[in-house]
Chain A
Amino acid sequence: MLRKRDEDVVVMTQNTRNTPDEVTPRSEVTARLLRELVAHLRQNRTSLREEWVRRITEAHLLTAMTKEEIFAEATSVYDSYVAALETGTFEALQNYARNLSERIIPRGVETHEVVGIVLLLRDVLARSLFAKYQDDFEELNRILDAYEPAANRIANTVAVGFVQERERVIRQQQEAIRELSTPVLQVRERLLILPIIGVIDPQRARQLTEQLLRGIRTNRAKVVVIDITGVAAMDATVANHLVQTVEASRLLGAIVIVTGLSPEIAQTLVTIGVDLGKMNTVGDLQGGIEQAEHLLGYKVVMMAEAG
C-alpha cells in the first residue's frame, strides 16, 4: 500500500516538471514513446546504421577491424540495441556484448573504443530524434525522457560486459602465467630443479612451495636445486618463504640447495638480518647440480676418460 503511494508521488513530481496537464501514468507513456522510437529506428535502420559506421570510422575507432567487419558488427549491435529498447530486457544484449568482446579482445580492441562506439550510436540516434521532432518541442522532450535512460542503460550494459570479459581474460592469463612460471623439473633420478624467474609475491611463493612438495613426493626426490638467478629482488617476506620451503622440503626428507643468489640479494639479506644459515647455498646452477649429484652419489665422467 505504502509502496503504491510512493510511486504515485514520483509520477506526480515528474509530471509537474515536464508536462503539467499529463494524466496518464508515466510508465504507459514511456512504453508508448518507446514503441514509437523503435518504429522510427526500424524505419531508418539503413541510413542510421551507415551514419553510425561513418562516425566510427571518422573517430578512428575499431582500427583493428576492417570496414566490412565494422559494418557487420554495427548491424548486429544496432539490431540488439533496438531489440533491447523494444523489450526492455537486457539479457540478449548482455550476451551479445560478451560474445562480441570475446571476439574482439584478442584483436586488441580497447575499452575506450567499445565505450566510444556505443556512445556514438547513442548520439547518432539522438540526432535523428532531434531531426524528426524538431517542430514539436514538447514531444521531443518526452521522447528523449523515454530514450535517454534506456540508452544509458544499454551503454552501461555493453561497457560492463566488455570490461567483465576483459577481466575474465586477464584472470585466465594470470592463472596460465602462474602455472607456467613454476616448473618443477627432474634432471636426474631423484634430483629436481626449480628455476624461479621474476617477482615472487606471497601467493606465488605459496604455490611454488606446494608444487615443489608435490613434485618431491611424486618424483621421490632426494635433492632439490632451487635456482633464483632470475629473481631480481628479495625482501624479508620472500626470504622467509624461501626458508619455509627449504624446511618443508626437509620434512619430506629432501635436501634443498639454493643457487644463483645475486650480489644485491646477498647484501639485502645480510643487511636486513634474515637468517639463511640453515640454507645450503651454491654460487651458480652448475655448481648446485654438481653438489646435488655428489650428494646422490653420481659421478660424471667424460667419455674419453672413461675409455
Chain B
Amino acid sequence: MEVPILKQGGYLIATVQAALTDADLLQLRRALIERVVQMRSHGVILDLTALDVMDSFASRTMNEIAHMIRLRGAETVIVGIQPDVAFTMVQLGLTLEGVATALDLEEGLKYLNQKFKTARN
C-alpha cells in the first residue's frame, strides 16, 4: 500500500496507514528523498501511529530515510511509535540511533518548529 505524502507549509508529512511490505518501504524511501527537494521542504515527519509491528528491515529503512533526508538538506522526525513497538524494537537492538523521535504528529511539528526557530536565530 502506498503511503500518502502531504505537504504542510515547509514540511512533508508521510502517514503510514497499514502494515508495509518491503517494496512499499523502498517506494516510500524513494518518494520522500525525491520530493523533499522538489517541494523545497526543510522538515519531514514520518507518522508510524498505525504500525503495530516493526521488523528490522522497516527499522533500518526508517533510519536510512532519516539519514538520506539529512543529506538532502532537511530534518526528519519519526512520530507515533507505539509503546509495544518501541519495547520490541529496543529488545531487537533497533534503536533508530541519531534519528529524532516524538510522541505524535503535534509533538513532531513542535519539534521541527523549535529546531528551525533556533536555526534561524
Report A's interface with B, CB cutoff 8 A.
209-210, 213-214, 216-217, 220-222, 244-245, 247-254
Most buried by B among A221, A253, A254: A253
- Min CB–CB distance A241 → chain B (angstroms): 10
> Could you say which residues of chain B place their CB within 8 Å of the CB of A254?
103
- 8 closest A-B pairs (Cβ-Cβ)? A213-B83, A253-B102, A251-B86, A248-B86, A253-B103, A248-B90, A244-B90, A247-B95
Contacting pair A251 B79 (CB below 8 A):
no
B118 within 8 A of A: no
C-alpha spacing A252/B81, complex, angstroms: 6
- Chain B residues contacting A216 (CB-CB under 8 Å) are 83, 103
CB within 8 Å for A252 and B103 given contacts A214-B83, A217-B83: yes
Contact with A along B6-42 (1 / 0, CB 8 A): 0000000000000000000000000000000000000
- B102 CB to nearest A CB, Å: 4
Is residue B61 contacting chain A, with contact meaning CB distance below 8 A?
A: no
Chain A residues with CB under 8 Å of B86's CB are 213, 248-249, 251-252
* B116 located at the interface, meaning its Cβ lies under 8 Å from any Cβ of chain A in the complex: no
CA distance A296 to B91 in the complex (A): 29
In addition to A216-B83, A248-B89, 20 A-B residue pairs with Cβ atoms within 8 Å of each other are: A210-B83, A210-B87, A213-B84, A213-B87, A214-B83, A222-B103, A248-B83, A248-B86, A248-B87, A249-B86, A250-B95, A251-B78, A251-B90, A251-B101, A252-B81, A252-B86, A252-B103, A253-B79, A253-B101, A253-B111
Give bound CA distance, A213 to B87, whole Å.
8
Q: How far is the CA of A247 from the CA of B83 in the complex (A)?
A: 11
Report B75-107 residues with CB < 8 Å from chain A CB. 78-79, 81-87, 89-91, 95-96, 101-104, 107
Contact B103 A209 (CB under 8 A): no
- Cα A253 to Cα B86 with chains together (Å): 11
Partner of B89, one of A210, A214, A245, A251: A251
Q: Is the pair B103, A251 in contact by a Cβ cutoff of 8 Å?
A: no
Residues of A within 8 A of B82 (CB): 217
* B57-87, CB < 8 A from A: 78-79, 81-87
Task: Choose one: B83, B85, B101, B107; the contact of A250 (CB below 8 Å).
Answer: B101
Q: Which residue of B lies closest to A220 (CB)?
A: B103
* Most B Cβ at <10 Å: residue of A244, A250, A251: A251
Residues in A neighbouring B91, C-beta threshold 8 A: 244
B107 proximity list for chain A (CB < 8 A):
220, 222, 253
Cα distance A248–B81 in the bound complex, in angstroms: 10
Closest Cβ of chain A to B1, distance in Å, is 23
With the chains together, A216 CA to B81 CA distance in Å?
A: 12
Complex Cα spacing A250 to B82, Å: 12
5 A-B pairs within 8 Å (CB atoms) are namely A221-B103, A245-B90, A251-B81, A251-B86, A252-B83
Within the complex, the shortest CB–CB distance from A132 to chain B, in Å, comes to: 69
Given contacts A214-B83, A217-B83, A247-B95, contact A252 B101 (CB under 8 A): yes
Bound together, the chains give a CA A247 to CA B94 distance in angstroms of 9
Q: B103 — which chain A residues lie within 8 A by C-beta?
A: 216-217, 220-222, 252-254
Residues of A within 8 A of B95 (CB): 247, 250-251
Give Cα A222 to B108, complex, Å. 12
CB distance from A222 to the nearest CB of B (A): 8
Report the bound CA distance from A243 to B37 in whole Å. Answer: 37
In the complex, A213 Cα to B82 Cα: how many Å?
9
CB-defined contacts of A209 to chain B, threshold 8 Å: 87
- Please measure, in the bound complex, the distance between the C-alpha atom of A249 and the C-alpha atom of B82, giving whole angstroms: 10
Contacts of B89 in A (CB 8 A): 248, 251
The chain A residue with its CB closest to the CB of B95 is A247
Q: Which residues of B contact A214 (CB under 8 A)?
A: 83
Q: How far is the CB of B71 from the nearest CB of chain A, in Å?
A: 23
Instruction: Provide the residues of chain A in CB contact with B87, threshold 8 Å.
Output: 209-210, 213, 244, 248
